[in-house]
Structure 1
Amino acid sequence: MDRDTPRPDLQDRSTGRFGRALDLVRQRGILEPFRLVRRHGIGESSRFVARNIRYLIADRLARKWDRDNGVDTAGSIRLDGLDVVGPHRDEGNECVCTSPKSFAFIMNSLPADLGDYTFIDIGSGKSRTLLLASHYPFASIVGVEFARELVAIAKRNIERYKSPAQKCRALSVVEADAAAYEFPETPLLVYFYNPFSKDVFDVVLSNLVASLARHRRRCFVVYGSSSHSAIDWARPAIRDTGVFERLVTPPMPHFLDAVRTIDYAAFEYRPS
Structure 2
Amino acid sequence: MAVGRSRMPMPKPAEPRVMVVANQKGGVGKTTTAVNLAAAMAVSGLKVLVVDLDPQGNASTALGIDHHAEIPSVYDILIDESPMDGIVREVEGFDSLWCVPATIDLAGSEIELVSLVARESRLRKAIKAHVKGEPSRYDYVFIDCPPSLGLLTVNALVGGDEVLIPIQCEYYALEGLSQLLKNIDMVRAHLNRELAVSTIILTMFDGRTRLAAQVADEVRRYFGDTVLSTTVPRSVRISEAPSYGQTVMTYDPASSGALSYLEAAREIAESVAGPDEKSGESDE
Q: Work out whether the TM-score is over 0.5.
A: no
- Structure 1 length normalisation: TM-score? 0.32
- Structure 2 length normalisation: TM-score? 0.31
Larger-Rg structure: 1
Compare relative contact order (CA 8 Å, sep 6+) and give the higher one, 1 or 2: 2
